[in-house]
């Protein structure tokens, strides 16, 4: 009989523990599941965009010596050539990341919110964008006789 009493005693302890457990409601379960799913989607999005950025930074585009004077548009960048220099800038607006689409003379305009930039320097002329366009690496390869553009922010050298 002593063992039977212990079994009954253990059953009472388990029942009291089950009563003390906090029950999860359907609403709180749905909120928890939604939060986990959104977190997973955000993490995947971050990983994919970070991967794409790393791939793009390594990309190199080559152009012949016959780049015309003024603005030459390409999908992700434009080249501005004068008699004395050749500079390249990303066509990504610094306000919301839209592509710069139209130009009037030396003024570039974003199609999304109307920001305007000076083509020669990338400087923001009219908001909502405040920062200038990002200048990217553009150099002349004397061996091949071509202009090389890399989608990597130009490093600023200080003396």
pLDDT tens figures, 117-157:
888 888 888 878 888 888 888 888 888 888 888 877 665 54
pLDDT at 42 over 70: yes
C-alpha 7/C-alpha 28 separation (Å) is 36
37 band by pLDDT with thresholds 50, 70 and 90? very high
How distant is the alpha carbon of residue 39 from its chain centre? 18
How distant is the alpha carbon of residue 57 from its chain centre? 12
The token pair that represents 57 in the structure block: 């930074």
pLDDT of residue 67: 82
pLDDT of residue 157: 47
158 band by pLDDT with thresholds 50, 70 and 90? very low
Helix (H, G, I), strand (E, B) or coil at 67: coil
Residues 6+ apart with CB under 8 A from 126: 114, 115, 116
pLDDT of residue 68: 84
For 130-133, the CB contacts below 8 A with 24+ separation are 130/94, 130/95, 131/94, 132/94, 133/89, 133/90, 133/91, 133/92, 133/93, 133/94, 133/100, 133/108
Average model confidence (pLDDT) for the chain?
Answer: 78
């Amino acid at each position: 009989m002593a063992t039977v009493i212990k079994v009954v005693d253990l059953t009472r302890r388990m029942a009291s523990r089950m009563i003390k457990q906090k029950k999860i409601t359907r609403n709180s379960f749905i909120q928890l599941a939604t939060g986990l799913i959104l977190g997973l989607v955000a993490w995947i999005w971050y990983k994919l965009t970070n991967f794409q950025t790393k791939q793009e930074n390594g990309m190199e585009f080559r152009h012949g010596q016959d780049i015309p004077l003024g603005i030459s548009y390409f999908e992700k960048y434009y080249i501005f050539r004068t008699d004395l220099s050749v500079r390249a800038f990303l066509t990504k607006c610094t306000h919301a990341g839209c592509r710069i689409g139209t130009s009037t003379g030396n003024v570039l305009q974003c199609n999304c919110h109307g920001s305007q930039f000076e083509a020669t320097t990338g400087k923001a002329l009219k908001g909502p964008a405040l920062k200038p366009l990002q200048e990217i690496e553009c150099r002349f390869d004397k061996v091949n006789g071509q202009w090389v553009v890399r989608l990597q922010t130009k490093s600023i050298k200080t003396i």
